[in-house]
Amino acid sequence: MLTRLPMRLPTSSSKTIYFLLFCAVLFTTIFPLLRINSFCIILLVAYRLWDAPATARSVFKDTLLVAYLVFVLIETAGFLHTANMKAQSDAVAKDATLVALAYVLCSGTLVSARAYRRLMSAYCLMIFLSSLYCLVLAYRYYLVDKDPADFFYHTLTRPIAQNAVFYSVYVVFAMLFLLSPSGEPIVSWLSPMWKKALRFSVVFFFMGMIVLLSSKLLLVIAVLFLVNAFLRRYSYRKNKRAVLVTGSALVLALGILALTKNPVSVRYRELAAGDLDAIKQKTFDPGMYFNALQLRLLEWRFGTEILNEQHAWLFGVSPGSSQDLLDAKYVRTRMYIGNPAEGPHRHIRGFIGYNFHNQYLETLVRCGFLGLAALLAIFILLFVRARKQGTREAWYVVLTLAVFFIPEAPLTMQQGVFLFCFFPLLAVTAPGKVELSAE
């Protein structure tokens, strides 16, 4: 049975401290200052312990926190059989973020309805400013090299050292807040009319960023969020003209993207260009190109082969050994790995270091069926908590991550660990009905 701790709001003075600490954690995640980010999370945990010491004991009544803890303990058990202690230590240190953030967010209600809006408003501002910064620098690069690719995909997010796909999730979650019934940002000096204009202007700016970031999955999800928000706001029977005009504009925009040659449409067309039978080969030409679908299917094939060869379906091969075994597959099948004569620390390493691009398979290879069961248990508990929380936005956040884990393995990176813990827990613990009262 899912247990929640009693509702307890912090005092007025501690509210400000929590807000500033959460903002610091968000800022150092968006602009990935990972060491400072870890320090900010430690400060957040330390302040929570000082502000409410009783939670250190009672918080373990929360089954969601226990699920995160069990998942990390299963990964930690990899120390017993790993062949790479350094990689194992790095993986466990990174995953400790899951327990730290889960402790803070599961240890009672930290934010009121208005404080939640204030925090998400600050988050949207950070995403807006970081996106604007990327666009400005992309324009400067474009003036020099005249290459339109400066505005797309990983090249666009290069100035803030972000993975474009992960950053797309950050942008989508900012959009989701602004599209929610309580998503009006807190800007006290603007009139209601200008607040509404600002809100929807930023939503369409974020939609434009999603297009430029060129994540196929996140673009589809963002469009679905827009359609859902519009249909929630406008009934077709009462607003036929508005629905038809908006729907036609959306279809036209998507049609232009699909029918013209541009970096976004090219990425979709690549999926149909490759021969899927080619991935059945035992070896490959090092110069062979794999599209996104071919590469993922091949890596998933390698995952099952590793589990069979190591007899590791129950306990996995350990987080420390997982990537080494996958890299060995790339080498044995003669996939492109750069020039081995330049040594293991060469700059160009080809496919070396590429993960399984599926978090469920990544977890299965790392920790076996035990680890996969723990991961699925977390999602089940998140969905249960989202149902009890009572807003569609909580459902959407958890569902987005559950789907995102199919083509990506975000828990191999610290930013991905943050995605898996902070946003779903914040969404399912946020006040169910956020007031739009005076600020």
| pLDDT at res. 436 | 41
- The predicted structure's pLDDT at residue 13: 77
Residue 102 lies in a domain: no
Secondary structure letter of residue 5 according to DSSP: P
Which helix (H) or strand (E) segment holds residue 366: the answer is helix 359-389
Which residue matches tokens 């958890």?
Answer: 398
User: Is 154 a domain residue?
Assistant: yes
Residue 393 has pLDDT above 80, yes or no: yes
Tokens matching residue 394: 């909580």
DSSP 8-state assignment for residue 357: S
Q: Is residue 434 part of a domain?
A: no
Tally of structural domains, the chain? 1
Which residues constitute the domain of residue 234? 114-273
Burial of 295 (0-12, 13-18, 19+ CB in 10 A): middle
- Asked whether residue 41 is assigned to any structural domain, the reply reads no
Q: Which residues contact 43 (CB under 8 A, 6 or more apart)?
A: 21, 24
CA atoms of 225 and 207, how far apart (whole Å): 10
- Assess if residue 43 is contained within a domain: no
Res. 7 pLDDT band, cuts 50 70 90: very low
Contact 68, 102 (CB under 8 A): yes
| The pLDDT of residue 17 is above 60 | yes
Residue 294 forms part of a structural domain: no
What pTM value is reported for the model?
A: 0.87
Alpha-carbon distance of 45 to 231, in angstroms, equals 40
Six-digit token pair at 218? Answer: 């996140």
N- to C-terminal Cα distance for the chain? 38
The least confident of 96-100, 104-108, 301-305 is: 104-108
Q: How confident is the model at residue 414 (pLDDT cuts 50, 70, 90)?
A: confident
pLDDT, tens digit (0-9, with 9 covering 90-100), for 86-103: 999 999 999 888 999 998
Residue 108 counted as domain residue: no
Cα–Cα distance measured from residue 97 to residue 38, given in angstroms and rounded to the nearest whole number: 8
pLDDT at 274: 65
Handedness of CA 290, 266, 400, 134 (dihedral sign): positive
Q: What's the pLDDT tens digit per position in 114-172?
A: 788 888 999 999 999 999 999 999 999 999 988 988 999 899 999 999 999 999 999 99
Averaged confidence pLDDT in the chain: 85
Q: Is residue 173 part of a domain?
A: yes
